[in-house]
Structure 1
Amino acid sequence: MIHVRPAHDLDARDMAAILNAVIEIGGTTAMTHPIDAQYFIDRMNAEREVSSWLVAEKPDGEIVGFQWVTRGGEYLPPEAAEIATFAKPGQQGLGIGSKLMEATKAAAKRLGYTWINANIRADNESGLTYYQSRGFEDYGRIEGVRMANGQVVDKVLKRYDLT
């Protein structure tokens, strides 16, 4: 059984390990260089008032996924949150994403957001399927995005209305 709870600084190392494994596999995240635990500690602390960070763990405490929503930045209105979701490779299909999404939707509402934006690489079939299956709908596309490693990809924009 998967349990979802708020992330804290002590989870940052496990979160970084999951994200780095996803980055190493390639093709599913805009991030192209490994990160360390301090990256998550800094972000969680800096964005505490406008974000929710959640981890999914097994009964033994193993973290198998995480998700966050935070203020969307310059290109989104203030009522929109940006979402990111990561599952430990090999652990997909256990209900991690479903449990995280339910908790994240509730957290986003509490934070005052009315919709959630997912900005997904067009070549990330599993990510596109995940968000589509959670009720996100396509509303835009950004073509020719240059990644930090020089690769150029398109991005699909998906929206989930919380109201």
Structure 2
Amino acid sequence: MNTEVTVRWSREEDIPALAALNNRVWNETNSPHVAEVTEAEYRERHAVGSGLVAVANGAVCGLIVWRTPSRMESNAHVAELAIAVDPDFQGLGIGRKLVEAACVEAKAQGKRKLSLRVMSTNEKAIAFYEKLGFRAQGRLVDEFCIGGRYVDDILMYKMLHDDAGR
């Protein structure tokens, strides 16, 4: 299957598809808090143009957003990522394209480091991030209790510069 994928900033007309993607992607394997969101809630949490969307064959199939992890100026060089790819479109390189585009945009915004959090139960995502050059930088042991089971939260990072062999 030949799927042409474009990555662009989110638009107002994407909101229904992005809210649906949000509700479809997150589950107890990859998120500590699963809750359906309405289009209005999604719009309130994610302003139009605040994230990059992947579009394949005319359909929104992925999203990547980032934020500065804290309000401290000393932390302003870090972008914390959140990424979602529709399960029907996984394995087509969409996640890679989203992360690569985010690297370019975050670097243009003066960011030096990308970080993310991934639950230890999401082994597929951990392997994906490692392939893209992310490294573990910490582990929050038994951070979440989901379905009666304790789950670790793994902190990962990728530097956007070439200093000191990092």
Is the TM-score greater than 0.5? Answer: yes
Question: Does residue 70 in structure 1 map to residue 72 in structure 2?
Answer: no
Q: Count matched residues.
A: 157
Name the residue aligned to 1:138: 136
Q: Hey, what's the Cα distance between the residues in 1 that align with 2:148 and 2:114? A: 28
Task: Note the aligned Cα RMSD (angstroms).
Answer: 2.4
Counterpart amino acid of residue 65 in structure 1: G
Query: What TM-score do you get using the length of structure 2 for normalisation?
Result: 0.84
Paired residues for 1:77-156 under 5 Å: 77-146=75-144, 152-156=150-154
Query: What TM-score do you get using the length of structure 1 for normalisation?
Result: 0.85
7-16 or 130-139, which deviates more? 7-16
Q: Hey, what's the Cα distance between the residues in 2 that align with 1:92 and 1:30? A: 21
Contact persistence 2:144–2:153 (CA under 8 A): no
Name the residue aligned to 2:45: 43
User: Which blocks of at least 5 consecutive residues in structure 2 are unaligned?
Assistant: 162-166
SS at match of 1:93: coil
1 or 2 for the larger relative contact order (CA 8 Å, sep ≥6)?
Answer: 1
CA apart distance, 1:123: 0.7
**What do the CA deviations read for 1:16-59 (whole angstroms, capped 9, x no partner)?**
21121123x5311233111122233223339x7xxx40110113
Name the residue aligned to 1:3: 6
* Aligned counterpart for 1:16 among listed residues 16, 19, 44: 19
Contact persistence 2:28–2:146 (CA under 8 A): no
Q: Hey, what's the Cα distance between the residues in 2 that align with 1:126 and 1:92? A: 11
SS at match of 2:75: coil
Q: Hey, what's the Cα distance between the residues in 2 that align with 1:149 and 1:12? A: 30
Q: Hey, what's the Cα distance between the residues in 1 that align with 2:42 and 2:22? A: 11
User: Which blocks of at least 5 consecutive residues in structure 1 are unaligned?
Assistant: none
